[in-house]
Amino acid sequence: MKWPRHESVSDFHCVEGWSVVGCRWEGISMKYMLERIKPKESAKYATFECMDGYTTSLSIKDILEDGVLLAYKLDGEYLEAGIGAPLRLVVPSKYAYKSAMWITKIAFTSSKEPGYWERRGYSDSANVWGNDRYSA
């Protein structure tokens, strides 16, 4: 909470086809965080681990995009447990399964670690604009 608060307004897209328009997230910018913690040069990916055992992995390039946050507020209110408190990853350009809830650990790795849904046939890119939902 000592780090600067960043805000990101974006639409939130579920792989099942629904969206929530204009979510106003507040939290810690991943870009700001990486500038401060400086992962090793060999780190190309970040794996996010959650309280319930869920994982997802994104490239460093993906988490450096504008609007990617570790969010603790949504629309001016602190997150409730049901939507990811205390910290939720928000990745506006990806389907929601990449926006992991209840973050407990971030591991920076040189190789990609498939996450929970990716091991079950969902697309690793999760590109909303490309409608990339499932692995080929």
Point out the least confidently predicted range of 12-16, 65-69, 99-103.
12-16
Burial group, residue 121, by CB count within 10 angstroms (0-12, 13-18, 19+):
exposed
Expressed in percent and rounded to 5, the helix, strand and coil fractions of the chain are 15, 40, 45
Checking if the pLDDT of 136 tops 60, the result is no
> In terms of Cα–Cα distance, which of 19, 26, 24, 27 is closest to 95?
19
pLDDT in tens, 104-130: 999 999 999 999 988 988 888 887 776
pLDDT at 52: 95
Bridge partners of 105, per DSSP, are 49
Q: Where are the domains of the chain?
A: 6-117
pLDDT at 131: 66
If you count them, how many residues does the chain have? 136
pLDDT at 106: 96
Whether cis (ω within 30° of 0) applies to the bond prior to 86 is: yes
pLDDT at 30: 96
pLDDT in tens, 30-75: 999 999 999 999 999 999 999 999 999 999 999 999 999 999 999 9
Give the fold, CATH level 3, of 6-117: Sulfite Oxidase; Chain A, domain 2 (3.90.420)
Is residue 74 within 8 A of residue 83, CB to CB? The reply is: yes
Say which amino acid occupies 133. Answer: R
